[in-house]
A and B are shown apart, each in its own frame.
Chain A
Amino acid sequence: MSAVIENHHDDHHHGPAKGLTRWLYTTNHKDIGTLYLWFSFAMFLIGGAMALVIRAELFQPGMQIVEPEFYNQMITLHGLIMIFGGVMPAFVGLANWLVPMMIGAPDMALPRMNNLSFWILPFAFFILLSSLFMDGGAPNFGWTFYAPLSTTYAPPSVTFFIFSVHIMGASSIMGAINVVVTIMNMRAPGVTLMKMPLFVWSWLITAYLLIAVMPVLAGAVTMMLMDIHFGTSFFNAAGGGDPVLFQHIFWFFGHPEVYIMILPAFGIVSHIIETFSRKQLFGYSSMVWAMLSIAILSFVVWAHHMFTVGLPLAAELFFMWATMLIAVPTGVKVFNWVATMFKGSLTFETPMLFAIAFVVLFTIGGLSGLMLAIVPADFQYHDTYFVVAHFHYVLVPGAIFSIMAAVYYWIPKWSGNMYDERLGKLHFWLSFIGVNVTFFPQHFIGLAGMPRRYPDYALQFADWNMVSSVGAFLFGVSQILFLFIVVKTVMGGKKATDQVWEGARGLEWTVASPAPYHTFTTPPKVD
Chain B
Amino acid sequence: MNPEAKKTLRRLVIAVPLMFAFGFALVPLYNVFCEVTGINGKVFQSDNAEKLVIEDGRPLGLQFISTNNENMPWTFKPSEDVMTISTGKYYTATFYVKNTTNKTMTAQAVPSVAPSNAAAHLKKLECFCFEQQELKPGEDALLPVRLLVSDELPENIENIILSYTIFDVTEYDDEAVAQHMHEEHHEMEH
Residues of A at the B interface (CB closer than 8 Å) are 1-2, 4-5, 109-110, 173, 177, 180-181, 184-186, 211-220, 223, 231, 233-234, 237-240, 242, 244-245, 248-249, 252, 310-313, 315
Minimum CB–CB distance for B39 against chain A, Å = 4
Minimum CB–CB distance for B158 against chain A, Å = 17
8 A-B residue pairs with Cβ-Cβ distance under 8 Å, sorted by A, are A5-B1, A186-B5, A211-B15, A213-B19, A219-B21, A234-B27, A238-B69, A312-B37
B22 within 8 A of A: yes
Minimum CB–CB distance for B13 against chain A, Å = 7
Size bracket of the B interface: 35 or more
CA distance A233 to B169 in the complex (A): 11
- Contacts A239-B172, A312-B39 known; A180 to B19 CB distance under 8 Å? no
The reply to whether B12 and A177 form a contact with Cβ atoms under 8 Å apart is: yes
The CB with the most chain A CB atoms within 10 A, among B4, B9, B117, B172, is that of B9
The reply to whether A219 and B24 form a contact with Cβ atoms under 8 Å apart is: yes
B163 within 8 A of A: no
The SS class assigned to the B binding surface is helix
Other-chain contact of B5, A184, A233, A310 (Cβ < 8 Å): A184
B residues less than 8 Å from A184 (CB atoms):
4-5, 8
The reply to whether A215 and B19 form a contact with Cβ atoms under 8 Å apart is: yes
B185 within 8 A of A: no
A residues less than 8 Å from B8 (CB atoms):
180-181, 184-185
B residues less than 8 Å from A2 (CB atoms):
1
The reply to whether A238 and B108 form a contact with Cβ atoms under 8 Å apart is: yes
The reply to whether B30 and A315 form a contact with Cβ atoms under 8 Å apart is: no
The reply to whether B167 and A252 form a contact with Cβ atoms under 8 Å apart is: no
Minimum CB–CB distance for B175 against chain A, Å = 14
Minimum CB–CB distance for B176 against chain A, Å = 13
Closest 6 CB pairs of A and B: A219-B23, A238-B167, A215-B19, A185-B5, A215-B20, A216-B23
The reply to whether B9 and A215 form a contact with Cβ atoms under 8 Å apart is: no
The reply to whether B19 and A211 form a contact with Cβ atoms under 8 Å apart is: yes
B165 within 8 A of A: yes
B41 within 8 A of A: yes
- Contacts A186-B5, A215-B19, A238-B172 known; A180 to B26 CB distance under 8 Å? no
- Which residues in chain B, 5-62, are within 8 Å of chain A measured between CB atoms? 5-6, 8-9, 12-13, 15-24, 26-27, 30-31, 37, 39-41
The reply to whether A181 and B39 form a contact with Cβ atoms under 8 Å apart is: no
- Contacts A216-B19, A220-B23 known; A181 to B5 CB distance under 8 Å? yes
B residues less than 8 Å from A215 (CB atoms):
16-20, 22-23
Other-chain contact of B13, A177, A186, A223, A310 (Cβ < 8 Å): A177
The reply to whether B1 and A223 form a contact with Cβ atoms under 8 Å apart is: no
B residues less than 8 Å from A312 (CB atoms):
37, 39, 116-117
CA distance A218 to B147 in the complex (A): 41
Other-chain contact of A185, B4, B114, B165, B169 (Cβ < 8 Å): B4
Minimum CB–CB distance for A50 against chain B, Å = 29
B residues less than 8 Å from A214 (CB atoms):
19
